[in-house]
Chain A
């Protein structure tokens, strides 16, 4: 018998004596929505509010984002080809790079990447391999700013799950990387970004 056959025959004989089996429960769409969600009219406003709770900075304009980066003294900034339209604006103030390889992981202070979408309920940013092929760029720099189109914001977690794109890797980012492993003290920026931002366009 192969390992697979052993496992399946083990499961089958474990279940065989059951007089009846638990029926599949109905999971109505939105059954796990927080009670306050219904009172929120505007997805964009809700996203901003919840992103703040999660610790994600929101920028309304590229200029706002840029001047914040400038204040933080970010020198080298990564911009993927998909965001080439921002080049001219940024190149004036920071050193731009379009190339993000393993060897340069620590040279880049901040990276902007294009997001697939977002979730208003939780202030979550959605990245996929299609929208954000540069996995490391969205993770390794101290500052990561995801560019989110306002019309791609889902209202709820349930909505986002109902519209999962065809992609081998989808990641939801709800705030900066954090740990409380050392004596329960919250520290940001363990492996991923210490600052997680979002530029709404």
Chain B
């Protein structure tokens, strides 16, 4: 094997190397602040927030393991209140369903409220190809859209952009002369977006939760854009992953309390909207039609896998914020819609036969466990990462950047070889290890110095201890 340091790198490392220091600093700062706020608020408000996370996890796990029942119930509740429910097996099916609804209502302009599932199925591109203008209304998502970029965080989509970047984009789009004052940027977006809301025929949203017994779609935003999408529009289309269902309103007390605190360190997100149907004769304010498209897009495959717990996720972003790898790498390094620890699990699973292309992501983790500790639905992310590593191994996915461990396996399983290695180990202190022709060792030692060798003494110590305590160690 040729000896180059490039070979010893994981794919994610190449993204880290290319990330401008300003972006890395911004990502680090913002994720660290949010993590701190979350920690503070949960501590102030709950004596045992861990118990609450476990309860939320159990609510979600229970729902997933009875998804056939709850999904059917949600459908029934929504239909009874006048909404039309659709199902989409693939991303393409979902996009087609939306397009058909729009075209049959004669709508060519829509506004969208932030939704991860619409990112996942690339709805905007599909609509554009069918002559439908779709404008993202969340400020961050709008900027991502006009830049032809991708969100780099599930809650803060433009965590990787500076105000200067945004000001240049706004200038290019004709939203005014260059001005990088955040307040001015926001006011310009406000003004521009109003026109879009008022001329749109439909508002497209996702949903954070759907209650089975009352058929409520729960939408949370801080900007109020989802509300604005649904105030003047004639048609509301919601795209909802099938796993978003929860049994009842009472469960929301737990989930909503955790979501705001985990995502942004707020007791509640500013706007929490509950929608369970179109306008009625006695409530004539809302859209005339409400469509709910339940999207599978390989979720049933995930449900059948040994990583089904990841479907509990409520997309709060806390695991991204706390993750030392995400903080260094930012979101694009994960090369998929869902970045960070949740993405390292979910993206390869949702990739289907492209699993191999993302199979390196579960390896981009030190398994420190922080993601599990902050997760409001207690997803054992490190365990799931290990399961995916095993799957990659079983499917013989080549693994650049992972040192071959066969040598260690030989050492560790043969006592005689191990003992001799321990005896001769002290020689390491006198060898120029970083110059050895072993690629992984070389690149690893470039940035580290090893402590002095102290190995091989444990057995001697153990023996003398046995002697002192009468031979049985007790």
Decide if A200 is an interface residue (CB 8 Å cutoff). Answer: no
Chain A residues with Cβ below 8 Å from B140 are: 179, 181
Selected contact of A157 from candidates B29, B268, B271, B286, CB within 8 Å: B268
Q: Is the CB of A135 within 8 A of B55?
A: no
B16 contact set on A, CB distance < 8 A: none
Q: Which residues of A contact B52 (CB under 8 A)?
A: 31-32
A180 touches B156 (CB 8 A): yes
B224 interface neighbour in A8, A18, A187, A192, Cβ under 8 Å: A192
A157, B266: Cα distance in complex, Å = 14
- Bound-state Cα–Cα, A106 to B278, Å: 26
The chain B residue sitting closest to A142, CB to CB, is B190
Q: Is the interface of A mostly helix, strand, loop or mixed?
A: loop
- Pick from A7, A139, A168: contact of B280, CB under 8 Å: A168
B47 at the A interface (CB under 8 A): yes
Which stretch (A63-71, A82-90, A91-99, A122-130) binds chain B?
A122-130
- Chain B CB within 10 A, most for which of A121, A134, A172, A176: A172
B253 on the A face (CB < 8 A): yes
Q: Closest approach, in angstroms, between the C-beta of B277 and any C-beta of chain A?
A: 4
Q: Are B257 and A187 in contact (CB under 8 A)?
A: no
Interface 0/1 of B32-48, CB less than 8 Å to A = 01000000000011110
Residues on the B chain within 8 Å of A181, using CB: 138-140, 143, 156-158
Pick the contact of B214 from A122, A164, A174 — CB < 8 Å? Answer: A164
CB of A158 to closest CB in B, whole Å: 4
| Docked complex Cα distance between A15 and B304 (Å) | 7
In Å, the complex CA distance between A106 and B267 comes to 31
Contact of A164 among B33, B274, B296 (CB under 8 A): B274
Report the Cα distance A23→B61, complex, angstroms.
9
Q: How far is the CA of A24 from the CA of B157 in the complex (A)?
A: 35
B156: nearest residue on chain A (CB-CB)?
A: A181
Q: Say how far B27's CB is from chain A's closest CB, in angstroms.
A: 10
Taking CB atoms and an 8 Å cut-off, the chain A residues in 149-201 that contact chain B are 157-158, 161-162, 164, 167-185, 187, 189-193
- Nearest-neighbour CB distance to chain B for A53, whole angstroms, equals 8
Distance, CA A124 to CA B231, complexed state (A): 20
A35 & B47 in contact (Cβ 8 Å cutoff): yes
Contact A184 B33, beta carbon cutoff 8 Å: yes
* Complex contacts, A135 vs chain B, CB 8 Å: 227, 230-231, 285-286
In the bound complex, how far is the Cα of B72 from the Cα of A17, in angstroms?
Answer: 20
A161 near B228 with CB under 8 A, answer no
Q: How many residues of B contact A (CB 8 A)?
A: 101
A157 pairs with B257, CB closer than 8 A? yes
CB distance from B286 to the nearest CB of A (A): 5
Is B242 touching A7 in the complex (CB atoms < 8 A)? yes
Q: Are A136 and B68 interface neighbours, CB within 8 A?
A: no
A39 within 8 A of B: no
| CB pair A21 B283 closer than 8 Å | no
Residues in B with CB closer than 8 Å to A184 are: 26, 29-30, 33, 156, 159
A121→B46 CA distance, assembly (Å): 13
A45 in contact (CB, < 8 A): no
Asked if B257 and A174 make an inter-chain contact with CB atoms under 8 angstroms apart, the answer reads no
Chain A residues whose CB sits within 8 angstroms of the CB of B254 once the complex forms: 27, 31-32
Kindly list chain A residues whose C-beta atoms are within 8 Å of the C-beta of B296: 6-7, 10
Docked complex Cα distance between A62 and B32 (Å): 43
Residues A179 and B58 in contact, CB atoms below 8 Å apart: no
Given A4-B87, A7-B242, A169-B286, verify A161-B253 contact (CB < 8 Å). yes
B256-A157 in contact (CB<8A): yes
Residues of B contacting A4 with CB < 8 Å? Answer: 87
User: In the complex the two chains form, what is the Cα distance from A140 to B231 in whole Å?
Assistant: 10
Contact of B186 among A133, A168, A187 (CB under 8 A): A187
Residues from chain B with a CB closer than 8 A to the CB of A172 are 268, 271-273
Contacts A27-B251, A187-B183 given: A178-B274 contact, CB under 8 Å?
Answer: no
**5 residue pairs bridging A and B, Cβ less than 8 Å apart:** A22-B61, A135-B227, A179-B140, A182-B139, A192-B224
CB-CB nearest 10 A-B residue pairs: A192-B224, A10-B300, A14-B304, A181-B140, A34-B45, A14-B303, A190-B223, A182-B182, A177-B224, A21-B65
